[in-house]
Every structure is written in C-alpha cells, then in structure tokens.
Amino acid sequence: MNIFDLDIIQPCYNPPDEWEKHTVLYYREICKLLPDFSIRLSIVNDGSSRPVSFEKVEYIRTHIPHFTFISYDLNQGKGYALRKGIEQSSATYQIYSDIDFPYQIANLVSMAQALRAGADIVIGVREKDYYDHLSYKRKITSK
C-alpha cells in the first residue's frame, strides 16, 4: 500500500473539452514542483449530465500512476463530491481544485508547502482574470 503525503481532489461536473489532457499536464507539473511529496489525484464525477467517457478516464489512468476515479449518476453538488473524495483519502494533506484549474500551479505548490510547514488550513484565491472567460451564469455562481 502506498502512503501519500498529498491527495489532490477534483470535483467534476460536465468537464470541459480536452480536460483529460489538461489534467495530466497539470499533475505532471505539480509533481515536478513538489518532488518530495507523494501525490495522488482523485477526480469525483458528480453526476455529470453529459457522459464522462471511459476513454478519457483511461487516458488519465495510463498517464498518472496514482489516480482514483469516483463516479455516481445523480448530481449531488460540489460539497458532496468533495466529501466523497476526502472519504477515500488516506493522505496526510488534501487540496481540492476544480476540474478547470482556477488556481495557478504555483498557488497549489505554495498551499502544499504551507500545509507541510504546519498550517491547519490554507485557502487559495482565484486570479482576477479567472472570471474574464466565464459565462455570466458561471461568474455569478462562482462569486
């Protein structure tokens, strides 16, 4: 059994195009910047209304050695998805990031380092330009 320092938990609902490729790139970059961490990625599909294809999940599974995929049919909301991801986590630290990666990788790295240094909780802040590319409805729900 592997012991992980860090689980990155990503709730997922109707992921964007090519999300699987972005996920792999994001994970690899984080691993490069946190070489002293053992990192697992967990994606929780929160009852997406569009099918999340088996091929995309398998693409991630073949490129990320420590990957967990949780999926259920009925949308339960982000909070429920996060709880599901954290329930399966045995890592010392957990960080969550949305599937569209609203935080810069450097911010996630800083959060992981702060947790390891003894912080009980770390909160990330989205960059101002994050909201520029969102639809009006998503801007309202995100804020």
Instruction: Give the tens place of pLDDT for each residue, 76-97.
Output: 999 999 999 999 999 999 999 9
42-79 pLDDT, tens per residue? Answer: 999 999 999 899 999 999 999 999 999 999 999 999 99
Burial tier of 128 (Cβ tally within 10 Å: 0-12, 13-18, 19+): exposed
Multiple choice CATH, 6-142, 3.90.550.10, 1.10.10.10, 3.30.1550.10, 3.30.465.10: 3.90.550.10
Tell whether the torsion through CA atoms of 34, 80, 68 and 88 is positive or negative.
positive
